[in-house]
């Protein structure tokens, strides 16, 4: 029965700037993209597109018979930093659209999104966007793709064919059979590619009707629901609304939610319960995140976006589960507590601290840091406080005396504390996650370079060299000889050791073409003055000599600097250390 078929949830994924929000803007006639930080969607939004509107836009495919009430779109963040949040959206969605710029093709984020959809076993279609950007394209506003395609020159048609088949080829490499939608006969065996333009509306109706057709044919059984079951949803955003107080934007994905229902939610300090005071729904075709005129309703049936007003919502966490409580109050709250403990973040004993405004964003930020092998010590939802700064300031490692804050404020007591330069905590704050990460990584690289430069200045670097035949210019007091650097970097003011590890003298100066130089690298032939030796007694022509490295410096070189040493330097270090390790296996370790 029609009333038992819920609205399918559609997830929109893809590479940043490939046009996900612009696509939805075209469908709903809104301008969400203009209000987003960096023109990238930073929060999941929900838009209901009624079936009547879809049929009107359906073009050549507008005659499909369906019981579906429409489509509920979730507009997910686009950059790869949102991998976990996309996965959450993918798992929630019944069907997905993977947006790909037909002119740019697959990017890393596109492939990540494909992997998420594959892992979640979520059926999807490809929206090949920006066909209007193909050179020479003549737009036919709001037309079906087939109609618009016929209006193009042969050259433009060929370009379009080539772009689509580049996508087909890439999808084949990734293990997917695909074809342009109007050539597909078996929708179970072939992934559908729908060329569209968000600017001109071309192909948009085709895309919507393909989604309706696939959902009707292959998902109808899974969309059946009892409209009397207790509602289950997810908090998208906690908002302060004039005249309403604190409200929740929620996606209800199962059951029914009524005014007066008791609901369980996750708060900052644990699960809470409250009674629904009012339910407000956005008008059809309007994005819940920007809707300014809501309709008051007595009940909402899944799937739907809805605004909830109730008491004691101030501590609710964005990303929290929402469950209607029928029966055992404590059992429902316990389930919510359990869900909140399942945040997918790996913690370390030492690492950076992160904060975000939603659970999904927190997981996404953590996932990106994990991919870059940056450990996390603390992760929380909500503003940065003075207590946080105190905990961070005791970290010994400079790179971990930092906090990454996504879209959260810094509380006044923390702001005052940060004015004290001795606190030594570095704060990174941004409303766009990938920019937040870029800022941190740039700072980390700068600190690391400075630290490395300091290490290379203070640590005795390995080197081996030999005295060249016919290049003894003074036998002693100090000895002046010509040498070839066989490996590593030779510097002045270092001790010289023989093959048995005995220290015999010290290099005072290094000259190249009669000019003093600060160092000589592998392969260089230079003149050196060595104090404390006599040629022919302590050292001989042709003998291989080493820079004498203090034992504690060997440990620093091997544990902290080895990846930054070239092969010749590592060889000189290994040879010198092996002299002592023959009798002292743990020397320099």
Pairing of strands 525-531, 299-301: unpaired
Burial label, 345 (beta-carbon count in 10 A; 0-12, 13-18, 19+): middle
CA atoms of 440 and 437, how far apart (whole Å) = 5
What is the structure's pLDDT at 71? 86
Which stretch of DSSP H or E encloses residue 472? strand 463-474
pLDDT of residue 1: 34
The 10 Å Cβ neighbour count of residue 475 is: 14
Per-residue pLDDT of the chain (589 residues), as tens digits, is 334 678 888 888 887 665 677 888 787 764 333 343 333 333 446 777 888 778 777 755 556 677 888 888 876 544 333 333 334 444 567 888 999 999 999 887 788 778 777 766 788 999 999 999 999 999 999 899 999 999 999 999 999 999 999 999 999 999 999 999 999 888 888 999 999 999 999 999 899 999 998 888 888 777 776 667 899 888 877 888 888 899 998 888 888 999 999 999 988 788 999 999 999 887 665 544 555 567 889 999 888 888 999 999 998 887 788 999 998 899 999 988 887 776 667 788 889 999 987 777 787 788 788 888 899 999 887 889 899 999 888 888 888 999 999 888 898 998 888 888 777 889 999 877 778 888 999 999 888 888 877 777 788 999 999 999 999 999 999 999 999 999 999 999 999 999 999 999 999 999 999 899 999 999 999 999 999 999 999 999 999 999 999 999 999 899 888 888 999 999 999 999 999 999 898 898 8
DSSP letter assigned to residue 302: S
Residues 317, 264: Cα–Cα separation, whole Å:
12
Enumerate residues 6+ apart whose C-beta is below 8 A from 102. 128, 129, 130, 131, 133, 134, 160, 163, 164, 167, 195
Q: What are phi and psi of 132, to 5 degrees?
A: -70, -15
**8 Å CB contact between 566 and 463:** no
Q: What span, in angstroms and rounded, lies between the C-alpha atoms of 322 and 234?
A: 5
Check: CB of residue 528 under 8 Å from CB of residue 505.
Answer: no
For residue 267, what is the enclosing H or E element?
Answer: strand 262-267
232 — phi, psi (to 5°)? -135, 135
Rg (CA), the chain: 33
> Cα-flanking dihedrals φ and ψ of residue 172, to 5°?
-65, -40
Which domains, from first to last, does the chain contain? 2-223 (3.40.50.300), 232-341 (2.40.30.10), 352-457 (3.40.50.10050), 463-581 (2.40.30.10)
Q: Cβ of 504: how many Cβ atoms within 10 Å?
A: 17
Classify burial at 298, counting beta carbons within 10 Å of its beta carbon; exposed 0-12, middle 13-18, buried 19 or more.
exposed
User: Residues near 531 by Cβ (< 8 Å), separated by ≥ 6?
Assistant: 478, 479, 505, 506, 507, 508
Q: What pLDDT, on the 0 to 100 scale, is given for residue 80?
A: 34
pLDDT score, position 81: 33
pLDDT of 45: 62
Q: Residue 478 gets which letter from DSSP?
A: S
Length of the chain: 589
Q: Are 182 and 150 in contact (CB under 8 A)?
A: no
Are 243 and 251 in contact, with CB atoms under 8 Å apart? no
């Amino acid at each position: 029965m029609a009333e038992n078929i819920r609205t399918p949830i559609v997830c929109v994924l893809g590479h940043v700037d490939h046009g996900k929000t612009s696509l939805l803007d075209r469908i709903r006639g809104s301008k969400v993209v203009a209000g987003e930080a960096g023109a990238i969607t930073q929060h999941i939004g929900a838009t209901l597109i009624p079936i009547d509107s879809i049929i009107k836009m359906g073009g050549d495919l507008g005659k499909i018979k369906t019981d579906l009430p429409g489509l509920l779109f979730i507009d997910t963040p686009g950059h790869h930093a949102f991998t976990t949040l996309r996965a959450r959206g993918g798992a929630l969605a019944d069907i997905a659209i993977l947006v790909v710029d037909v002119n740019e093709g697959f990017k890393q984020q596109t492939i990540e999104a494909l992997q998420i959809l594959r892992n979640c076993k979520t059926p999807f279609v490809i929206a090949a966007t920006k066909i209007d950007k193909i050179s020479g394209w003549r737009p036919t506003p709001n037309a079906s793709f087939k109609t618009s395609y016929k209006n193009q020159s042969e050259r433009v048609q060929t370009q379009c064919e080539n772009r689509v088949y580049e996508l087909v080829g890439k999808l084949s490499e990734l293990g997917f059979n695909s074809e342009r939608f109007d050539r597909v006969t078996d929708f179970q065996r072939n992934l559908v590619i729908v060329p569209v333009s968000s600017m001109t509306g071309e192909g948009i109706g085709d895309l919507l009707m393909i989604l309706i057709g696939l959902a009707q044919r292959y998902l109808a059984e899974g969309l059946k629901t009892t409209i009397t079951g207790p509602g289950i949803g997810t908090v998208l955003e906690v908002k302060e609304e004039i005249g309403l107080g604190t409200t929740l934007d929620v996606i209800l994905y199962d059951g029914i939610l009524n005014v007066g229902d008791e609901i369980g939610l996750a708060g900052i300090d644990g699960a809470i319960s409250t009674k629904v005071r009012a339910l407000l729904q956005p008008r059809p075709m309007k994005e819940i995140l920007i809707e300014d005129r809501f309709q008051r309703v007595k009940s909402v049936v899944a799937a739907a976006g809805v605004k909830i007003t109730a008491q004691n919502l101030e501590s609710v966490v964005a990303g929290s589960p929402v469950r209607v409580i029928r029966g055992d109050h404590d059992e429902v709250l316990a389930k919510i507590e359990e869900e909140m403990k399942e945040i997918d973040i790996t913690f370390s004993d030492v690492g950076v601290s992160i904060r975000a405004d939603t659970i999904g964003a927190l997981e996404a930020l953590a996932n990106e840091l994990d991919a870059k092998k940056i450990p996390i010590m603390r992760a929380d939802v909500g503003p940065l406080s003075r207590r946080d700064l105190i905990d961070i300031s005791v970290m010994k490692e400079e790179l971990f005396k930092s906090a990454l804050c996504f879209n959260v404020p810094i509380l006044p007591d923390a702001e005052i504390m940060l004015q004290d330069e001795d606190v030594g905590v570095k704060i990174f704050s941004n409303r766009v996650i990938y920019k937040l990460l870029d800022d941190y990584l740039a700072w980390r690289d700068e600190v690391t370079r400075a630290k490395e430069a300091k290490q290379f200045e203070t640590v005795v670097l390995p080197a081996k060299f030999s005295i060249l035949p016919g290049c003894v210019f003074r036998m002693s007091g100090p000895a002046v000889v010509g040498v070839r650097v066989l490996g590593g970097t030779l510097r002045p003011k270092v001790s010289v050791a023989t093959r048995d590890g005995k220290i015999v003298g010290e290099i005072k100066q290094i000259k190249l073409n009669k000019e003093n130089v600060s160092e000589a690298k592998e392969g260089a032939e230079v003149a050196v003055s060595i104090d404390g030796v006599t040629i022919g007694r302590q050292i001989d022509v042709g003998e291989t000599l080493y820079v004498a490295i203090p034992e504690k410096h060997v440990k620093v070189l091997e544990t902290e600097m080895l990846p930054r040493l070239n092969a010749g330097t590592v060889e000189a270090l290994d040879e010198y250390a092996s002299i002592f390790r023959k009798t002292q296996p743990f020397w320099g370790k």
